[in-house]
Structure 1
């Protein structure tokens, strides 16, 4: 049985939860900058990978790099979830 994807409204809490787990910081907030809070490129890949599995979206690390504040990143992911309406999302390649 396939686990249902979280609703776009649930994505901010999921992002903060995953980031907090990876950074071993239960007090992270949506206002936290992932990289300033101790994140690095390897942890960014883990965050994006875990979030992609949880949402069913096809996500790229560059989305987190472009929006390192967790709330902003979550909002971008939620927009992708809304636009995809259940379809796999692929971000445009960088030029």
Structure 2
């Protein structure tokens, strides 16, 4: 997923019209419960597994896109995201 796709996903989830690539999920209205929803949506769309800690560490669309790209380079689907 690209940063613009993640921005749109976060905007939809938080009901915010414009999410910049460097906006922090938590600074624009996200919380831990919404982060779990974001995780589920990211996993559904990418086929990769993420942890809540991933969202705290990579809270912007740019950072999440980089995390997804890193996992994609390691492998695909469930192989890319093993236990943490």
Give the structure-2-normalised TM-score: 0.85
Match of 2:8 among 14, 17, 20: 17
Structure 1: runs of 5+ lacking an equivalent: 1-9
Structure 2: runs of 5+ lacking an equivalent: none
Alpha-carbon distance in 2 for matches of 1:42, 1:72: 20
Higher alpha-carbon Rg: 1
Q: 1:67 to 1:91 in 2, by over 3 A?
A: farther
Moved runs in structure 1, 4+ residues, more than 3 A?
Answer: none
How many equivalent pairs are there? 83
* Contact 1:20 1:27 (C-alpha < 8 Å) held by counterparts: yes
Which residue of structure 1 lines up, in the alignment, with residue 74 of structure 2? Answer: 83
Q: RMSD of the TM alignment (CA)?
A: 1.5
